[in-house]
Amino acid sequence: MKRKLYAGFTGHDVHIDVPLSNVAIAYRPRGFIADQIAPIVPVPKQSNGYYIWDIADAYRIEETFRAPATEANIIEHGVNSATFFCRNYALKDRIPYEDIANADVAYIFAQRGSRAEFIKDKLLLDWERRVALLVNSGSNVGSYSVVASAWTDRRSGYSKPITDMITAIENSEGVTGIRPNKAVFGRYAWRYFRDHADVLDRIFGTAGAPSGGRLVSTQQVADLFELEKVMVGGAYYQTLDEGQAVSLAKIWNDNVLVYYAPDTPRIDDASFMYSFRWPGIAGMDMTAEIFQLERAKAEEVQLGYYQDEKITGSTLGFLITGVGSAQ
């Protein structure tokens, strides 16, 4: 395995491991949805600005008629701007030389791969929580509302999850002219929604359960509300410090977010949220770096990236809160 020594790494031998990087990039942990809410937009600089277009100007009907031998009418539009700064997020794990010396080649690569996957899990978990904290705050979305009756009462007419969803979608569309195309349910919210009598009857009808029982899927809910995608946030995180007992909490709880995000993200295209990622430093783009630490008699596997998550169009999102706790 070829290693290249870089100036500035006295006593450290470092290289980017391409096969290991392919393992990390291809590896897809389950339950993480941050990249679906805040799609990644590559940016050429670590910090820069982005435009915020005026909605009223975008939908104003202009005088388009041009008389012969005259210039076309000039349109005017207001535009604001905001800035991003891509912070560096990175983690590493060590493999003692003793483990390497006592293992065959295949096992060493497997060890590196498992560590790369574990590091990526940690990085994505942090990204997931950062996005969740942003979008689950009513002050960061265009509108939000607490349901009138909690969805925990699954009887028809006692709570109205379908009406709540339609209100959220139509509110966002009415303000922006862009219909939300995605929705995220917290795990609790999804449990109450999919088992609600109104939802079951709307999807399966009231004539009785089909063969196999009535179990609502995310695709059926997407079709019901004419959305491109419905997701369920299922990630957990440890709430206590290192060395303490396990105490897990859901990152996504009893809220529902409906929002618009383009399938092909661009910095100049409307989206509820973006993740601005800067690939300007070699190795800090979710590739795997191997460091040889001779003094510590260990090998290190490191992954990292530069990124900033921004809500770029707050009115393109609507948050339904407290679906499992409203009184």
Output the pLDDT for position 17: 59
The answer to whether the beta carbons of residues 259 and 39 sit under 8 Å apart is no
Output the pLDDT for position 22: 60
pTM above 0.75, yes or no: yes
Output the pLDDT for position 104: 75
In the structure encoding, which two tokens stand for residue 58, read together?
């975008």
Produce one character per residue of 61-80: b if its CB has 16 or more CB atoms within 10 Å, e if not.
eeeeeeeeeeeeeeeeeeee
Output the pLDDT for position 211: 45
Consecutive sets of 10 residues in the chain, 327 residues long: mean pLDDT of each? 36 52 58 92 93 72 82 77 94 89 76 86 94 93 92 87 96 94 95 93 72 80 97 90 87 93 88 95 88 90 95 94 77
User: Among candidates 94, 88, 96, 95, which has minimal Cα distance to 123?
Assistant: 88
Helix (H) or strand (E) holding 4: none
Q: Is 204 helix (H, G, I), strand (E, B) or coil?
A: helix
- The class that CATH gives domain 12-59+77-321 is alpha beta
Output the pLDDT for position 66: 83
Q: For the beta carbon of residue 108, count every other beta carbon within 10 angstroms.
A: 17
Domain spans in the chain, listed from the N-terminal domain onward: 12-59+77-321
> Three-class SS string for 167-186?
HHHHHHHHHHCCCCCEEEEE
